[in-house]
């Protein structure tokens, strides 16, 4: 829900880049998931999948790296015109 609310703030632009540390702070998980692969596997991918299935946004996320280290996330999203149906 926090990620959805965060993306709604930037609905007019359709994209947002956020530093990884700021993203962790926003979610209140500064001391959890120290390695990005854990954060991505446990939190980011499931959240993006759920947003795509259940919300009015079509969301993609890309990583921004400095060398081999992920330093930021680039969220791209647009309004999804398809009607979501729950079964």
Provide the domain count of the chain. Answer: 1
Residue 63 lies in a domain: yes
- The count of other CB atoms within 10 Å of the CB of residue 75 is 22
Q: Domain residues for 45?
A: 2-79
pLDDT at res. 76:
92
pLDDT in tens, 23-32: 999 889 888 8
Residue 86 lies in a domain: no
pLDDT at res. 72:
96
pLDDT in tens, 56-79: 889 999 999 999 999 999 999 888
**Stated pTM of the model:** 0.81
Residue 87 lies in a domain: no
CATH number of 23's domain? 1.10.10.10
């Amino acid at each position: 829900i926090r990620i959805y609310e965060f993306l709604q703030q930037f609905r007019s632009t359709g994209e947002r880049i956020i530093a990884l540390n700021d993203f962790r702070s926003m979610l209140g998980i500064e001391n959890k998931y120290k390695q990005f692969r854990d954060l991505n596997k446990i939190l980011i991918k499931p959240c993006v999948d759920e947003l795509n299935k259940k919300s009015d946004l079509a969301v993609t996320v890309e990583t921004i790296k400095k060398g081999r280290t992920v330093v930021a996330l680039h969220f791209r999203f647009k309004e999804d015109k398809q009607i979501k149906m729950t079964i």
